[in-house]
Amino acid sequence: MSLLTLTYNNPFKKAPIVSVKGQPVLLFNDDKTTLLEALEYKKIKVFSECRNGYCGACKTKVLSGSVTYHTPPLVALEKDECLPCCCRPDSNLDLAIEQDISTHPGVVALASKIKEPA
């Protein structure tokens, strides 16, 4: 199932909102997709390697909310961390993902690159 045709299995359950540092970025409405895949679809870059919960490369700080794992991760996690490659949100979720604003598709120009008119 592609991210373009997401359907939520329980139509009466509210789909979780995933935010990055308080800014909503996506409505997670598919329990078969990983959080990492959904973030990537929305052009949110998260460093990852194995994509299966083995390496811990995608370890991300959870500011609020909770997740469920498809398979238990093999990496030791703190209570406020998750592995987006093998989990999905249980509730609204706020993540601390560092984004390079200069590469985000929504950025038209950086203030440091704008020149004063002559």
Read off the pLDDT of residues 75-99 as tens digits, 9 standing for 90 and up: 999 999 999 999 999 999 999 997 6
Give me the CATH number covering residue 56. 3.10.20.30
pLDDT at res. 46: 93
Domain limits for position 39: 11-99
Reading the block at residue 79, the tokens are 């209570």
pLDDT at res. 3: 40
pLDDT at res. 71: 87
Total count of domains within the chain: 1
Within-domain flag for 38: yes
Within-domain flag for 104: no
Within-domain flag for 69: yes
Which SS3 state, helix, strand or coil, does residue 11 take? coil
Q: Kindly list the distances between the CA atom of residue 31 and the CA atoms of 19, 69, 89, in Å, as whole numbers in the listed order.
A: 17, 11, 9
Within-domain flag for 17: yes
Please indicate whether residue 105 or residue 60 has the higher confidence score (pLDDT). 60
Within-domain flag for 112: no
Reading the block at residue 108, the tokens are 């038209």
Within-domain flag for 3: no
Q: What is the mean pLDDT of residues 99-104?
A: 51
Within-domain flag for 24: yes
Q: What is the mean pLDDT of residues 5-10?
A: 49
Does pTM top 0.85 for this prediction? no
Read off the pLDDT of residues 27-76 as tens digits, 9 standing for 90 and up: 998 767 899 999 999 999 999 999 999 999 999 999 999 999 998 999 99
Within-domain flag for 115: no
Cα gap 109→106, rounded to integer Å = 9
